């Protein structure tokens, strides 16, 4: 008797060998380990006879793609966010969608804090100054930054990552205020010494603001020209969540005009392209969407996605199912 045929899965971007090995024990794997991004047409062709897809936030999974891969049963995103996936379209076709929450919280919080510190202490500016050979000696008023310790930190979005950021702020004796769609439980507020405020009060009171909300239509340009004008002139904005939450053009103008002191950015509208205006500014720290980019975390993300995919294709409920309602459609 022939063994049952393994489901075919497509992995769109290079991942670690242990994730491929795990998938291979359960599935027939077509892995794009050369890491050249698929065009929409190439991805559709690769998925024509596939039951599973393990993708990255750079891959667009929309209704047009789904129409070309009728056998698809599960999409496993190697990310917490999934705005690259049309989840309602997947649900309508009975396709399970999963993500990778939890495993990247601390690494992403670390990066957000690093951006805040680097912007406050002008780290990229002074490193460039050193590398250019411009440093001739110590001066009392040279390269003055601002203190992070004992400052007021406003966190917009108090989910797992927002809470991890608040926890780090305690070590710097910061006053923490936050705004969230729903107020978190009193015991969490007490543990993190965090006070709930309106978005307007957070903008007006904070010395530092870190954005940690998912991208969705309701958070598109959550921070625009009007919100930037509400911030303190000496405030620093950190966007470590998703491009599009900030109106980048408005932020460039605010930084040019000194509406706020500076910004630290890990994400951008239309990335990998970014507003060219950022490149001429000295009061912005720019990094290329590396919030979760440590080896341990990225390995954990890939393995989480692989386990989600195998579970979905094996008839089990995936640990991180985004659209649980799809199970009722079976």
Separate counts of helices (H) and strands (E) for the chain: 12, 12
Distance CA 109, CA 166 (A): 9
pLDDT, position 329: 77
3-class secondary structure, 242? coil
Across the chain, mean pLDDT equals 96
Residue 198: its pLDDT value, please? 98
Q: Which residues of the chain have pLDDT under 50?
A: none
Q: Where are the alpha helices (DSSP H) in 136-288?
A: 160-170, 186-192, 199-205, 225-230, 248-257
Assigned fold of 8-103+295-329: Rossmann fold (3.40.50)
Do residues 107 and 236 lie in contact, with contact meaning Cβ atoms separated by under 8 Å? no
Q: List Cβ<8 Å contacts ≥24 apart for 38-46.
A: 38/12, 40/64, 40/65, 43/10, 43/12, 44/68, 44/69, 46/10, 46/12
Neighbours of 227 (CB within 10 A): 21
Measured CA to CA in angstroms, residue 99 lies from 290, 301, 324, 325 at distances of: 18, 9, 12, 15
Nearest to 208 by CA among 130, 99, 84, 112: 112
Phi, psi of 182 (to 5 degrees): -125, 140
**105-286 in CATH: which number?**
3.40.50.720
What is the structure's pLDDT at 2?
61
Catalytic positions, please? 242, 271, 289
Domain with CATH 3.40.50.720 in the chain: 8-103+295-329, 105-286
């Amino acid at each position: 008797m022939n063994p049952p045929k393994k489901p075919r899965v497509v992995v769109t971007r290079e991942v670690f060998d242990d994730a491929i090995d795990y998938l291979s024990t359960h599935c027939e794997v077509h892995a794009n380990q050369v890491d050249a991004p698929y065009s929409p047409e190439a991805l559709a062709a690769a998925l024509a006879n596939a039951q599973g897809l393990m993708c990255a936030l750079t891959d667009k999974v929309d209704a047009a793609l789904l129409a070309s891969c009728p056998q698809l049963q599960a999409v496993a995103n190697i990310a917490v966010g999934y705005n690259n996936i049309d989840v309602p379209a997947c649900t309508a076709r009975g396709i399970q969608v999963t993500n990778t929450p939890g495993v990247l919280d601390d690494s992403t919080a670390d990066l957000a804090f690093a951006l805040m510190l680097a912007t406050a202490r002008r780290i990229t500016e002074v490193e460039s100054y050193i590398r250019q050979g411009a440093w001739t000696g110590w001066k009392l008023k040279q390269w003055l930054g601002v203190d992070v310790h004992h400052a007021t930190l406003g966190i917009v979005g108090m989910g797992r990552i927002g809470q991890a950021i608040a926890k780090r702020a305690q070590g710097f004796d910061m006053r923490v205020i936050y705004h969230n769609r729903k107020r978190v439980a009193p015991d969490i507020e007490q543990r993190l010494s965090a006070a709930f405020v309106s978005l307007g009060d957070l903008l007006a009171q904070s010395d530092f603001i870190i954005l940690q909300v998912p991208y969705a239509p309701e958070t598109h340009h959550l921070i625009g020209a009007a919100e930037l004008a509400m911030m303190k002139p000496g405030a620093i904005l950190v966007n470590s969540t998703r491009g599009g939450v900030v109106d980048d053009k408005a932020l460039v103008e605010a930084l040019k005009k000194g509406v706020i002191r500076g910004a630290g950015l890990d994400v951008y509208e239309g990335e990998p392209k970014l507003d060219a205006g950022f490149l001429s500014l000295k009061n912005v720290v720019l990094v290329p969407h590396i919030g979760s980019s440590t080896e341990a975390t990225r390995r954990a993300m890939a393995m989480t996605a692989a386990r989600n995919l195998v579970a979905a294709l094996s008839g089990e409920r995936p640990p991180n199912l985004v659209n649980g309602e799809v199970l009722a459609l079976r």
